[in-house]
Amino acid sequence: MDSEGSQTQHPYVPQDLHLPGFVPGVISESHIVGVYVFASVIVISLTWIGSGRVVTKLSRSDRLLMCWWAFTGVTHIIIEGYFVFSPGFFKDKTACYLSEVWKEYSKGDSRYAARDSGIIAVEGITAVLEGPLSLLTVYAIATRASYSYILQIAISLGQLYGTAVYYITSILEGDNFAMSPYYYYSYYVFANSFWVWIPTLIVIRGWKKICAAFQVQVQKRSKKR
């Protein structure tokens, strides 16, 4: 592929990225994306069915939110957790699905293969803190816990902060980590966009609910007087 010897042969941009022992991915893109979509549909379907059997009847939006939190929680823990704790995924020879995912995603952002410290920091916080807390949120919504909205806002703000750091650091470093415009827009822009607009909507919704709860509290106090 290039003249620098077999050790650094990889498809990623920038081409001078040093990845000794790189082993090319063998699973096709459609296979990788297909398995992820299929597994996600199962997680979402099971959550939807389960949420319909909760004793206290839940609203449609609460049930949809439970599906989101189950999906994002599982993604954070399994997919992103694997990345954080597998520094040598690009050397994997076993065609393990999770290392193939990150070999594929690195085509849209080579900083993953390069183990950029900003990426690891953000993914570490996401996988270790936000992942388990997302699953806790599924339980919190089902039980109508008093901390449900504030927990949803806390995780969503974390997702938004992480995505902001993700994009800002890339722009500051030249925004040139994708193999082609196709990978740039499909992986780097489109795939991440779900963790921008969904958390934004959840923060707005929770914010309104919390403000309304305080207005109720104030009304109650003024009635007492």
Residues contributing to the site for its own copies (CB under 8 A) = 117-118, 120-122, 124-125, 146-150, 153-154, 157-158, 161-162, 164-165, 168-169, 172-173, 206-207, 210-218, 220
Pick between residue 51 and residue 126 the one whose CB is nearest to its own copies. 126
Q: Min. distance of Cβ 6 from its own copies in angstroms?
A: 28
Q: Min. distance of Cβ 79 from its own copies in angstroms?
A: 20
Q: Min. distance of Cβ 69 from its own copies in angstroms?
A: 17
Q: Tell me which residue of 142, 117, 165 sits closest to 50, measured CA to CA.
A: 142
Tokens of 153: 């806002």
* Bond prior to 87 in cis (omega within 30° of 0): no
Pick between residue 4 and residue 173 the one whose CB is nearest to its own copies. 173
Pick between residue 37 and residue 218 the one whose CB is nearest to its own copies. 218
Q: Min. distance of Cβ 160 from its own copies in angstroms?
A: 9
Pick between residue 37 and residue 213 the one whose CB is nearest to its own copies. 213
